[in-house]
Amino acid sequence: MKIILASHNLHKVEEMKTVLRDLSVEIITLDDYPEVGDIEETGETLEENALLKARTVNRITGIPAIGDDTGLEVDSLDGGPGVYSARYAGEHATYEDNINKLLAEMSDMGENERTARFRTVAAFVDGETELTSEGKIEGMITFEPKGMFGFGYDPLFFIPEMNCTFAELSAEEKNKISHRGHALRNLYKHLSALWSSKL
């Protein structure tokens, strides 16, 4: 059996493949399906966007698909950028653009105003079944980027228990505790239970 990951983001695909590697299925990517262009994220919630991606890719390819959407929710910004995290600084914003905008928006905020969380919703769609699961991790927004690893807002997201940002962790360390890791492991459990019930 094959599952296709409904994302063109290579960083995200690598994380997803790592977490899902123990599923007894072949994990494939959109690299082999150029007919699946960019999927517009028109949903108003992470769940809507995750399902939108998975449904679209499943419909076009006929292969069971996993989609996900992630938001960085900063309490002092009323939960923003949230569902708009990837395009916070504009439709074609780079990671650096988004980081710079967030730092500018929070430049007057003290340490106690920097609580935040990363939240991911992962969705599985195979034409018959739709499953979703969520993962999140609490942290703080730093005053400046720290670390060389990861992607997106990782250099700004400080995890107090680890005393470092996501960008200071190896991919393996990050996957153990990250929002996307939690969401995918929860989805993995749902899928395992679903497939066991069909045997």
Lowest mean pLDDT across 45-59, 98-112, 175-189: 175-189
Beta strands in the chain (DSSP E): 2-5, 26-28, 65-74, 80-82, 115-125, 130-141, 157-159, 164-165
Identify the pLDDT of residue 8: 84
pLDDT-based confidence at 14, cuts 50/70/90? confident
What residue spans define the domains of the chain? Answer: 2-198
pLDDT digits (tens, 9 = 90+) for 43-82: 999 999 999 999 999 999 999 999 999 999 999 999 999 9
Return the biggest CA–CA distance within the chain. 58
Q: Say if CB 174 and CB 181 are below 8 A apart.
A: yes
pLDDT digits (tens, 9 = 90+) for 132-151: 999 999 999 999 999 999 99
**Residues with catalytic annotation?**
69
Note the CATH number of domain 2-198.
3.90.950.10
pLDDT at 16 over 90: no
Identify the pLDDT of residue 22: 77
Compute the distance between CA of residue 135 and CA of residue 177 in angstroms, rounded to an integer: 10
Mean residue pLDDT of the chain comes to 93
Compute the distance between CA of residue 154 and CA of residue 110 in angstroms, rounded to an integer: 20
